[in-house]
Amino acid sequence: MNKNALFSPFTLHTSHFFGGGGMGRRILIVDDETSMREFLVILLGREGYAVESAADAETALERLGERSFDLILSDVKMPGLDGIALLERVKRSWPDTAVLMLTAYTTAEDAVEAMKRGAYDYIAKPFKVEELKILVRNALEKLDLKKENVRLRQELRRRFSGFIGKSRSMTELYLLIEKVAASGSSVLIVGESGTGKELAARALHEQSPRRDKPFVAVNCSAIPETLMESELFGHKKGAFTGAIADQPGLFEQAERGTLFLDEIGDLPFLLQAKLLRVLQEKEFRRVGGSEAIKADVRIVAASNRDLQVQLREGTFREDLFYRLNVIMLRMPPLRERVEDIPLLMEHFFRKYTGKAASGPVATPEALKVIISYPFPGNVRELENMVERCTVLSGPMLSRASLPPEMLSFPGPVDLHPLEIPREGMNLEAYLDAMEQRYLSSALEQCHGVKTRAAEFLGLSFRSFRYRLAKFGMDD
């Protein structure tokens, strides 16, 4: 068949030619038919694109070696290397270049094969000019979006250098931190122990207008109750035995900066009322003092305990909770971002060996075990594991060097396909009932010892206790 006959004279009508918005994007036309190459060069050139052409795949590869192109329009059937072979070479050596396939042979097999091998799309000759222009525009817009996503991820990793991870949940966290940081609102960071809550608090500070002012962190569970008030608000000389001089508290130290209150759930109940007053009135008094001191401080609080449970138990003030919880950040546990584990392992391997990993830091057998483990201690537990294994295994983490609790973990359950009843079902109620059965069974097998039952189910004790409270089983 003569390929010149595969596009109608109507396709060439000059009414289709109008100035476009190519903005100098580089396009390479690859077709062994001279008339088709010339037509596409004229058409896309008038759309504002910088267009070059090649009569065969070999010449196209030479051009690609000389300069970069944003998009390639290639015929499928050509002498020598065909379009599919060219597509494979382009995707291997120039993965950021989009490829649009042109063909007169409209078989579904060709279309499927081209798309499987990475073509953006597929258009059959004869084609409509408007359809081709839309496909070209869409391919370039998708390429722009891909490049912008890469740039954004790189920028986010640069600006959140303390974090390791490029999973979807971590990227969403970076974006939320960046959005929230500019405000002066109080932030409550929740998440399990070891997920990086202080890193998130520091990122909020570093991205905020207060970045040049102090970031002051305090662990509310690490300070004795009798000293906590003085620690937060300071004291006057003689306020209590041992107060031999005026002492500023953390609020004064963090003036115009950020005060990070970690483990806020452990703050004594009486002090919660005083903290609430500072948040409302923007002022405080030192212990033993009468002078009101203004407080220009942004509060970021964090807890690995379920504050909602504490509200119900009456150990945490509801008004303080809502004052702190203007914006909530949830730190994803490691089991929800398994794809980040190899990156984290490489980071910790470099930290403890002083050498960058030249390849995988764990054997396939070890990595399989690590990936299937739920990591109740999250990133902190993973870091401890890598440190331990580098001591025992040297340059490569082996299965034998993994801790016993990891090796004994049963791994993912092989679930059989389930059938939903014809009349439908209440999934939430069903799952709640199943969860209660497993909790009861674990308690029974562990003779009521909750810590052992939690370990038996692969849960942290806090998570296990929360589930018991959820179903009224914590008596």
* DSSP conformation class of 194: T
Phi, psi of 164 (to 5 degrees): -120, 120
CATH number for position 442: 1.10.10
Of 276, 301, 330, the one marking the end of a domain is 330
One DSSP character per residue, 378-389 reads: HHHHHHHHHHHH
Number of domains in the chain: 4
Residue 161 pLDDT exceeds 60: no
Asked if 188 and 270 sit in the same domain, the reply is: yes
Give the pLDDT of residue 18.
35
pLDDT tens-digit series, residues 44-97: 999 889 999 999 999 999 999 888 999 999 988 888 888 889 999 998 888 889
d(CA 354, CA 373): 26
b (16+ CB within 10 A) / e for 332-370: bbbbebeebbbebbbbbbeeebeeebeeebbbeebbebb
The 3-state secondary structure of 217-254, one letter per residue: EEECCCCCHHHHHHHHHCECCCCCCCCCCCECCHHHHC
Higher pLDDT, residue 410 or 377: 377
d(CA 78, CA 84): 10
Of 281, 315, 330, the one marking the end of a domain is 330
d(CA 223, CA 302): 16
d(CA 120, CA 98): 6
Residue 19 pLDDT exceeds 60: no
Return mean pLDDT, the chain: 84
Residue 399 pLDDT exceeds 50: yes
Could you tell me the pLDDT band of residue 301, with boundaries at 50, 70 and 90? very high
Give the mean model confidence (pLDDT) for residues 312-341.
93
Asked if 195 and 175 sit in the same domain, the reply is: yes
Residue 474 pLDDT exceeds 80: no
What is the residue range of 321's domain?
Answer: 168-239+246-330
415 part of a folded domain: no
27 part of a folded domain: yes
Asked if 122 and 32 sit in the same domain, the reply is: yes
Asked if 176 and 50 sit in the same domain, the reply is: no
Asked if 323 and 194 sit in the same domain, the reply is: yes
- For residue 301, list its beta bridge partners: 188, 261
Higher pLDDT, residue 14 or 129: 129
Asked if 263 and 204 sit in the same domain, the reply is: yes
Cβ atoms within 10 Å, residue 140: 21
- Say if residues 159 and 200 touch (Cβ distance below 8 Å): no
416 part of a folded domain: no
Of 330, 348, 373, the one marking the end of a domain is 330
Residue 241 pLDDT exceeds 90: no
Give the pLDDT of residue 434.
80
CATH number for position 272: 3.40.50.300
pLDDT tens-digit series, residues 90-129: 988 888 899 998 877 655 567 677 778 888 888 888 888 9
Give the pLDDT of residue 330.
94
Give the pLDDT of residue 190.
94
419 part of a folded domain: no
Give the pLDDT of residue 471.
85
163 part of a folded domain: no
Asked if 269 and 367 sit in the same domain, the reply is: no
pLDDT tens-digit series, residues 132-151: 999 898 888 888 877 776 66
d(CA 186, CA 107): 60
Give the pLDDT of residue 13.
34
Give the pLDDT of residue 281.
92
- Say if residues 200 and 210 touch (Cβ distance below 8 Å): no
Give the mean model confidence (pLDDT) for residues 352-376.
83
160 part of a folded domain: no
Give the pLDDT of residue 200.
93
Asked if 326 and 340 sit in the same domain, the reply is: no
Asked if 312 and 260 sit in the same domain, the reply is: yes
Asked if 196 and 306 sit in the same domain, the reply is: yes
349 part of a folded domain: yes
The rounded percent of the chain whose pLDDT value lies above 70 is 87
CATH number for position 398: 1.10.8.60
392 part of a folded domain: yes
Residue 233 pLDDT exceeds 90: yes
Give the pLDDT of residue 39.
92
d(CA 29, CA 73): 5
Asked if 140 and 192 sit in the same domain, the reply is: no
Give the mean model confidence (pLDDT) for residues 423-451.
80
Could you tell me the pLDDT band of residue 204, with boundaries at 50, 70 and 90? very high
Asked if 252 and 321 sit in the same domain, the reply is: yes
Residue 11 pLDDT exceeds 70: no
